[in-house]
Structure 1
Amino acid sequence: MAAPSADRRADATAAPQPVTADPGTDTIPALLQRNARDFADLPALTSLDVEGAPTLNWAALRDEVAAVARGLADLGLRSGQRMLIMAPSRPEHIIVDLAATCLGAIPCTAYSTLSSDQIAFVAEHSAAPVAVLAGTDELARWRPVLDSLPALAHVVVMDDDAVPSGDDRFLAFDELHAQGAAAHPADPDTFDRAVADVRPDDPLAMIYTSGTTGVPKGVVLSHRNALHEAVALRDLHENPPHLTNVAYLPLAHIAERVLSIYLPTVNAGHVHTLVDPANVVTALGRVHPQQFFGVPRVWEKMVAGLKNMLAGLPEEKQTALLQANELLQEGYKLRSAGEPVPADLAERIAETDEAVLAPVRQMLGLDRLFLASSGAAALPVEVLYFIAGLGVEIQEVWGLSETTGAVTANTAGAFRAGTVGRPLPGIEVRVADDGELLVRGPIVFLGYLQADGTIEDVTDDDGWFATGDIGTIDADGYVTITDRKKELIITAGGKNIAPSRIEGLLKEHPLIGQAVAIGDDRPYISALIVLDDEIAPAWAAARGIEAAEPATLASHPQVRAEIEQAVDAANERLARVEQVKQYTLLSRSWTPESGELTPTLKLKRRVINERYRDDIESLYGA
C-alpha cells in the first residue's frame, strides 16, 4: 500500500492471537483442524452470490468438509486418486476441494472453458474416478465424452435441478453432503485418521496448465509447496492473520488457489466467493477486502473505467482529482527509485490523500486494503502509477503453477516499479546463459503427472527448474521479466523483441481491450487490435456516436482516428525496431469463450495466429 495507507495497515493488524504454521510438519488438513479448534467462531467462508447465505465460521467449515469427505469416501475416492472439479468460485468448490485433500486424494480444478475434447484429455490423463461439476453449462461440456471415460465412476452436480435423471453415475452435491453428514457424527475417527495420515510431502493438488501452446500438463503440488508459499508470502508482507479477500478468479489459477484456499487456511482468513468475475468491482464495494489480487486485465479495466468516469466530471472536480493523483505518483516514484520523499512533499501528500483520494478509495471498496497485488502477466507501468496515485500501491509478483505461485514479489517497504520484486524467503533465482530464469527451493512442484500415474520430476541434478521466462536480475536482486521464452519475436532482421511491452503500451489507451504484436520472421512489427467491449460503447456515447456494438464501432471514422493516435503514442515510447508499422482493428471481441484468451485472460498466440492468418498476411502486403 501507499505511504498514506499506514493507518489502514495498522488497523488490519488487530488479531485475537498469533497464527503459526510449519511447512515441514503441518499440512492443509491439519491446519483446518487447528482453525476449527483455535479459531472456531471466526468467519471463514461467505458467498456473495446467494442472498442471505450464512457465513461459515471455521468450526462450521470443518464440519462441512468432514461431511463431504465422508460422502466422497463412500463413493470410493481414495488417497492418491485424482478428483476433477469444474465449477466457478463458490463455497461448495472450496469445501469439496478441501474434503478431497483431507482424504489424501488430489483435487484438480479444470477451467470451465475447456472444450469437450479437452475435457476428455484431462479426464483420461488424470484417471479421476470422481468429477464434481457446477451445473447445466458444465454438464453440457461433459456429456458428449462421458461414455468414453472408463475410469470415471461418479459425477457430483452442485445444482440440484441440473442432475440428470435415470443415470446412476450422477449424484446431487446436497445428497452427497447429507449422506456424509449422517455418517460422520457416528464415526468421526474415520475423518480424523485420514487427516492424520496426510504428510507434508504428499501431493496436495494438481493444476493443468492453461495451455497457451501445446497440450496441458498436470502440475502436481505438495502440502510443503503450498505451506512454504503461504508462510513466505505472509512473512514477506508482514500480513496479519484473518485477512478478508474476494475469490473471483478460477480456482484452476494458482494465484486464486493460494490466496483463497491455502493462505486463508494457514492464516484463518475470511474468503468471499464470487461466481462471475465481471461483478468483481461491485464485490469490492460490498466487501472492502483487506487483500486483493488482480490479473493485469482487471487493473487495466479499473483504470480505464476511472479515466472514463473522470472525463464526465465537472472540470473543477476533475482537475482536483488529477492533481491529487499526480502528487501521490510523485511520492511513489521517488520511493520506487529508493530516494527519500521530502518532508514538505510528504505532508502535502498526506493532506491531499485524506481530503481528496480517501473518499474515492472508499467508494471503490479499496479503503481497507492491506495488500494489493498483480501477477500472471506484465502490468503496464502507467497502470501501476495511476493506481498508486489513488493511494493503492500494487505489489507485482512473478511465478508459475509449477512454483506454487509467486517466486518473487515487491513489498510495501521494498519495491521497484516495473520489476516483479525479489525472491521470496528461502527461494533462489538465477539467469541461465540464454536469459531464461531458473528457480530452486521448496515451492518448486513435485513434477508433471504422467499417463501411468507416476510423477516426473523435471528439475535438473542441482534442483533448478527452468521457468520458460526470460528476464534479468539487477544488482539489488530485483527481477524484471522480459517475456516468455517461446513468445519472443525474432524479426527477419534477427532482432529479438518482447511483444508484451508493445502490447502493454497499446492497451494503455482505454479504448483498446486487447492487442497482439506480430513480427516473427517478418520485416517489421504489426499488430491486431481489439476494442474494449465495456469502455468503447461508453466512450462512443459520450461523443455522440450512436453505435453501441464494438463490431460497428470498429469501422467508425472517429474510433479509428482515436486508435491511430493510440498507436502513434505507443510508438513514440518504443525503439524504432519495436514500433508498430501496420495494424488492423478487428470487429469482434476476444474472450476465453471465443478462444483467443485463456481463462486467466492471457493471449493464446497460436490460436490468434491461425485464426487471423488472412488479416496478418494483409498487414505484410500478401
Structure 2
Amino acid sequence: MAIEVEPDTFPKLLLRHSKLRGERPALREKKRGIWRTVTWRELADEAAALAAALSARGLQRGAHVAFVGDNRPRLYTAMCAAHWLGAVAVPLYQDATADEMVAPVQSAEITHIFAENQEQVDKLLEILPRCPTVRSIVYDKDRGMRHYDRPELVSYDTLLKQGRELAAAKGSDLQAEARRGSGQDAAFLFLTSGTTGPAKGVVLTHGALIGRALVAAATESLTDTDVAMAYLPPGWIGQNLFSYVQPMVVGYCVCCPESSDTMLADMREMGPTYFLATPRVLEALLTQVTMRMEDAGGLNRRLYRSGMAAAHRIAACASTGEAASLGDRLTKSVCDLLIYGPLRDVLGLSKVRVAFTAGDAIAPDLVTFFRTLGINLKQLYGSTETGFFVAMQRDGQVKPDTVGPAADGVELKFTAQREILVRSPGMFSEYYRDPDSTKRARDAEGWFHTGDAGYLDDDGHLRIIDRVKHIGALNDGTPYAPRLLENRLKFVSYVKDAVVFGDGRDMVCALIDIDMAAVGRWADKRSISYTGHADLASQNEVYGLIADSIARVNADLAQDDALSKAQIHRFLILHGELSADDGVLTRTGKLRRTVIAERYRPLVDAMYGGHATVSVDVAGGHTGAATTDMKIRDAKVLAGTKIRSAA
C-alpha cells in the first residue's frame, strides 16, 4: 500500500485541494456590488491554463515574477501559475512609485509582471528602459488600455484564452510540472520594510512557509470552513501568509473587498472568522468607534464608558488573580448585549473567532480595548526573515503587554544588549544576491539577529521593548524607548501618528500628526472654521485638545516607575500628515526615524530651544522663502501627584 506524502510545495497543495474540496470556495471577490466565487477546482484549472501560457512565453523554473495591484482573485491565481512552473513570486507594493519599483525589478531580474490596471502599467512602462530583463507585462483591467500598443503588453483574458488552448493539448505535462520541485525550492522573494535602510530581498522556500503555516493552523485550530479577508498590501508578507500560504495549507476561503471605501460594509457581508490587522488599522477602527460613541445618545455614551471602565477593572483583577466585583461583571454583560455587540457588527467583526495584530508594536491599551469589545484579538510577532510566526499569544493566556510565548519549533535567546535572536524552521534562505548582509544577520549557528530588544517574563512570554538602535537614555539616565511612548500617544483617537525625541536630551518632545477625520468632526461640532489640514492643525482650540490628551498620557506615564521621567514636555502639531509618498514612512506605515529626524530638524531644534513658534516652508517641514509660523506648546507633566506646566 502506497503511503501518501504530504505536499511540500504550493502547486502540490493546490492539486490536493482541487481533488478533495473542488467545489468549495477558495476565493471570493465583490465586483460591482455582487460577490463572485472561485472554487478550488476553478482556481486550479485557471492556474494551469495561465501556467501553460506563461511557459509558452518563456517563463522558466527559478525565474522571478512580480505582482503589483490590489488584492484580487486574479492576482493570487497568477501566483499559483508562477509557482506551478517553479518560478519565484515577488509581490510589490501597489502604491510604490515607479522609481521605487526599479531596484527590486532590476536586482531580481524580473522577467514577467502581473499588473492590475492602467496606473500600474504606466509605472512599469516608465521604468522599462532601465529594466531590460522584463519580457512580458500582463494587465487585468483594460480600462484606458485600448490604445496601448507595446509588444510587452498582454491582457489577462488573452493570456488565459491562449493558456486554455495549450492546456487542453498538454494536460498531462502540466500536471507533471506542478508535481516537480521540492520544499527546498524558493517560493517568494519579499522586500523588507526598509525602516533602517534600503529594502532587501528576502528569499523564503515553499517548505519554510508551509511549515510555519501548519504550526499556526494547529495552534488556532483553523479549518477549511474559516473565512479570511485580503485587504492589506499584497507586498507585505503578513497579507500573503493569511491570503495565500495558510489557505493553501488549510483550504479556507479568502474574500477580497470591492474597494477600501466599501471595506467595512463588505466585511459585514463576508463575515470573516480569521482576521489580521496592523496596529495602524486598529487605530483607525478605534477612531471610528470613538466618533460613533460621541455621536450616540447620552445613555449609550455613559453605558459605553461605564462598561469600558468595568472591563479595565476586570482585566486588572484577572492579572492579579483576584475576583472581579459582581457589579463590574453585570455592567460588562449589559454593555456586551447593548453596546459591544452592535459595535462588532458595525465593524464587520461579529463572526471573528480569532484576530491577530502584527507588523509593528501596538499599545497594550489598544489590545485591551478590542478584547473588551468581545473580539479575540491577539498579538503575533515575527519578521519577514523568520517566516513571520515567531511568537504568538494563545487563547486564555493573552497578556496585552507581551506578544506571547515562542511558536512551536522556534528557539529564542538574547544578547547582553537584550537583542532578540531567533532560530526557526521558517528561516529565510538568504538576502537575494547579498551574501554579506546574510552573514551579518544570521550567524554560523543559524541564529538570526532581529534588531529588536526584548526579554522573556516569568511566564515565558516575550516582551518587545523597541528596536535596539532606537533605545537610549535621557541626560539624567532615564531609559528611553520611543515606541513605548508613541504607542500611548497613538491610542488617543485624535492622534494619527506621533514621533518622539529624547535620546541624549534633557526631556522628551513630540511631533504630532492629527487624525484629520476625528479632529475635523470635533471642530465642526464646536463651530470652529478651517480651510484644510494645515489651518485646522494651527487652531488654538486644537492645540488645547491635543494638550489635554497629552496631559492624560503623561498622567498614565507618571504611574509607571520606568516611564515617569519620560513624560512628554513639549509638542508641535504638524501641518501635513506623515506619508510614505514623502519618504517618512515605509509602505507598511512604519516610521523612518533617520529621514524624519533630518526632514524635521528645524522643528525639533525649535522645541528643544524653548521657542514658542518656528518658521517653516508652507509645504510643510523645511525652512525657506515662503514660510509660515508653527506653534510649539508646553505639555503638562506630573510631578508627584500635582500637575505642573513644563518649563
TM-score normalized by the length of structure 1: 0.91
Alignment of 1:141-180 (within 5 A): 141-163=123-145, 165-180=148-163
For the pair 1:80 / 2:56, whether they are aligned, the reply is: no
Contact 2:352 2:376 in 1 (8 A): no
Contact 2:264 2:346 in 1 (8 A): no
Residue number in structure 2 paired with 1:542: 525
Residue number in structure 1 paired with 2:90: 108
For the pair 1:608 / 2:596, whether they are aligned, the reply is: yes
5+ residue gaps, structure 2, are: 558-562, 612-647
1:589 to 577, 583, 599: 577
- Higher mean alpha-carbon deviation, 228-237 vs 544-553, is at 544-553
2:101 to 116, 119, 140: 119
Cα deviation digits, residues 332-352 of structure 1 (max 9, x gap) = 444455666689976775565
For the pair 1:434 / 2:422, whether they are aligned, the reply is: no
Residue number in structure 1 paired with 2:34: 52
Q: 1:309 to 1:343 in 2, by over 3 A?
A: closer
Alignment of 1:265-276 (within 5 A): 265-274=248-257, 276=259
For the pair 1:94 / 2:105, whether they are aligned, the reply is: no
Contact 1:90 1:275 in 2 (8 A): no
Distance, in Å, in 2 between the alignment partners of 1:299 and 1:201 is: 36
Distance, in Å, in 2 between the alignment partners of 1:338 and 1:31 is: 45
Cα deviation digits, residues 302-360 of structure 1 (max 9, x gap) = 11221121112111122223333344444444445566668997677556534543233
Distance, in Å, in 2 between the alignment partners of 1:399 and 1:127 is: 28
1:232 to 193, 197, 215: 215
For the pair 1:501 / 2:489, whether they are aligned, the reply is: no
Contact 1:403 1:445 in 2 (8 A): yes
Residue number in structure 1 paired with 2:626: none
Q: 1:609 to 1:334 in 2, by over 3 A?
A: same
Q: 1:36 to 1:337 in 2, by over 3 A?
A: farther
- Higher mean alpha-carbon deviation, 198-207 vs 336-345, is at 336-345
- Give the 3-state SS of the residue equivalent to 2:168 in structure 1: coil
Distance, in Å, in 1 between the alignment partners of 2:318 and 2:605 is: 46
Residue number in structure 2 paired with 1:196: 179
Contact 2:480 2:503 in 1 (8 A): no
**Match for 2:149: what amino acid?**
G
- Higher mean alpha-carbon deviation, 336-345 vs 458-467, is at 336-345
Distance, in Å, in 1 between the alignment partners of 2:205 and 2:439 is: 14
Distance, in Å, in 1 between the alignment partners of 2:283 and 2:488 is: 11
Cα deviation digits, residues 247-289 of structure 1 (max 9, x gap) = 0001111111110101111111111113644543333222221
**Match for 1:152: what amino acid?**
V
Higher RCO structure, 1 or 2 (CA under 8 Å, sep 6+): 1
Distance, in Å, in 1 between the alignment partners of 2:346 and 2:502 is: 43
Task: For residue 402 of structure 1, report the CA deviation from its aligned partner.
Answer: 0.8
For the pair 1:462 / 2:434, whether they are aligned, the reply is: no
Q: 1:454 to 1:416 in 2, by over 3 A?
A: closer
Q: 1:180 to 1:208 in 2, by over 3 A?
A: same
Alignment of 1:271-290 (within 5 A): 271-274=254-257, 276-277=259-260, 279-290=262-273
**Match for 1:77: what amino acid?**
L
For the pair 1:62 / 2:50, whether they are aligned, the reply is: no
Residue number in structure 2 paired with 1:565: 548
Task: For residue 458 of structure 1, report the CA deviation from its aligned partner.
Answer: 4.6
Q: 1:538 to 1:256 in 2, by over 3 A?
A: same
Task: For residue 114 of structure 1, report the CA deviation from its aligned partner.
Answer: 2.6
- Higher mean alpha-carbon deviation, 313-322 vs 420-429, is at 313-322
Task: For residue 181 of structure 1, report the CA deviation from its aligned partner.
Answer: 1.8
- Higher mean alpha-carbon deviation, 430-439 vs 495-504, is at 495-504
For the pair 1:580 / 2:562, whether they are aligned, the reply is: no
- Give the 3-state SS of the residue equivalent to 2:389 in structure 1: strand
Distance, in Å, in 2 between the alignment partners of 1:343 and 1:229 is: 42
Cα deviation digits, residues 420-470 of structure 1 (max 9, x gap) = 011111111121221110111211111110069998795222221111111
Task: For residue 213 of structure 1, report the CA deviation from its aligned partner.
Answer: 2.4
Distance, in Å, in 1 between the alignment partners of 2:333 and 2:260 is: 33
**Match for 1:61: what amino acid?**
L
- Higher mean alpha-carbon deviation, 335-344 vs 109-118, is at 335-344
Contact 2:478 2:566 in 1 (8 A): no
Distance, in Å, in 2 between the alignment partners of 1:344 and 1:561 is: 36
Distance, in Å, in 2 between the alignment partners of 1:616 and 1:34 is: 58
Q: 1:171 to 1:620 in 2, by over 3 A?
A: same
Distance, in Å, in 1 between the alignment partners of 2:311 and 2:12 is: 44
Distance, in Å, in 1 between the alignment partners of 2:33 and 2:44 is: 23
Task: For residue 512 of structure 1, report the CA deviation from its aligned partner.
Answer: 0.8
TM-score normalized by the length of structure 2: 0.88
Residue number in structure 2 paired with 1:473: 456
Distance, in Å, in 1 between the alignment partners of 2:48 and 2:437 is: 28
Contact 1:552 1:587 in 2 (8 A): yes
Distance, in Å, in 2 between the alignment partners of 1:136 and 1:183 is: 28
- Give the 3-state SS of the residue equivalent to 1:181 in structure 2: helix
Distance, in Å, in 2 between the alignment partners of 1:453 and 1:273 is: 39
2:25 to 43, 60, 68: 43
Residue number in structure 2 paired with 1:515: 498
Task: For residue 559 of structure 1, report the CA deviation from its aligned partner.
Answer: 0.7
Task: For residue 203 of structure 1, report the CA deviation from its aligned partner.
Answer: 0.8
Cα deviation digits, residues 194-247 of structure 1 (max 9, x gap) = 211121111111101121221110001111111111111111122233311110
Residue number in structure 2 paired with 1:315: 298
Contact 1:332 1:388 in 2 (8 A): no
- Give the 3-state SS of the residue equivalent to 1:204 in structure 2: strand
Distance, in Å, in 2 between the alignment partners of 1:26 and 1:551 is: 54
- Give the 3-state SS of the residue equivalent to 1:184 in structure 2: helix
Task: For residue 136 of structure 1, report the CA deviation from its aligned partner.
Answer: 2.2
Distance, in Å, in 2 between the alignment partners of 1:37 and 1:532 is: 49
Cα deviation digits, residues 512-535 of structure 1 (max 9, x gap) = 111011234433321111111221
The number of equivalent residue pairs is: 601
Residue number in structure 1 paired with 2:372: 389
Task: For residue 113 of structure 1, report the CA deviation from its aligned partner.
Answer: 3.0
Distance, in Å, in 1 between the alignment partners of 2:450 and 2:549 is: 33
- Report the structure number with the largest CA radius of gyration: 2
Residue number in structure 1 paired with 2:117: 135
5+ residue gaps, structure 1, are: 1-20
- Higher mean alpha-carbon deviation, 162-171 vs 344-353, is at 344-353
Task: For residue 60 of structure 1, report the CA deviation from its aligned partner.
Answer: 0.8
